[in-house]
Amino acid sequence: MGDAEAFTRGFLPLFHAVPPVRLGVCRICHSGPNNRGNGKPWPTCASCKRTTQNLTGYTENVVPISLTTKETQLYDVLVREKTPYGVTGRRSRVDFLAATVTHFYQKHAGCLRGLAGGSFTIVATIPSTGAERPIQAFPLMDAVVGKVSALARLFRPLLLQADGEFAPVLAARKSHSNAFRVRGGELNGERVLLVNDLFVSGAHLQSAASALIAKGAQTVVALVVARLMNPASTDPYSAKIWQESCDRPFSFDRCCVCESACGRAA
């Protein structure tokens, strides 16, 4: 990707800041949890609890670049396959997403490596299961990663849909350790960066992470373009998180990982 910073400058209004982990922010996906009986929030949201509780391995290291809702242009780009437009006009979806990932990675590669415990040795993407979206002949995120020079050299098409029987399971927002299979041999000690477009329930992402960990991956860190929020959720925090995100100007200089570190340091 060329000058990703210049490219994304015209699209900043499409993005919404992701809050760091704190009380009332899910430690995995950064959405809103429910309260316990004592009125204090659970550390994870109901969705992340559901999608991780039956897996022997999963990742708590999920890093969204932006928050989004179904009423935003970013959601239209990711799900409805609309062409993004900004102050510089309309641009291709792949170029827009590649610039977004490139710019974020340029700024926060150190944050991601810190979660992984070292430099990444493999970059992977999650294949479509066909239940929520049509299976693409040329997967979107494969094309995106191919344009991010820092990631393309490490990319391996590791994950395959294991069997069509699991597509309805994932569509029902439930994870399964057998939903994906991993090509090749063991991943002994590999540190995997798993790049995906949209985090909805976490069922796809956690099922994919589980398959990688079962194959021997040392760590899996998930970098997602956006975490889908529902401000109308019955939990007491999601609406506040979304409002805070709307009120705060987005900047690629900040991420939910380094801001969490700053909070701990303070």
For position 51, what pLDDT does the model report?
A: 96
For position 139, what pLDDT does the model report?
A: 86
Token pair listed for 6 = 């210049």
Lowest mean pLDDT among 8-17, 56-65, 158-167, 249-258: 158-167
d(C-alpha 160, C-alpha 162), whole Å = 6
Average the pLDDT over 160-165 and give the result: 80
Q: Cβ neighbours of residue 51 under 8 Å, at least 6 residues apart? A: 58, 173, 174, 175, 201, 202, 203, 206, 207
When pLDDT is cut at 50, 70 and 90, the band that residue 2 belongs to is: low
User: Mind listing the pLDDT tens digit for each residue in 110-134?
Assistant: 999 999 999 999 999 999 765 444 4
For position 167, what pLDDT does the model report?
A: 83
Predicted TM-score of the model (pTM): 0.93
Lowest mean pLDDT among 97-111, 169-183, 187-201: 169-183
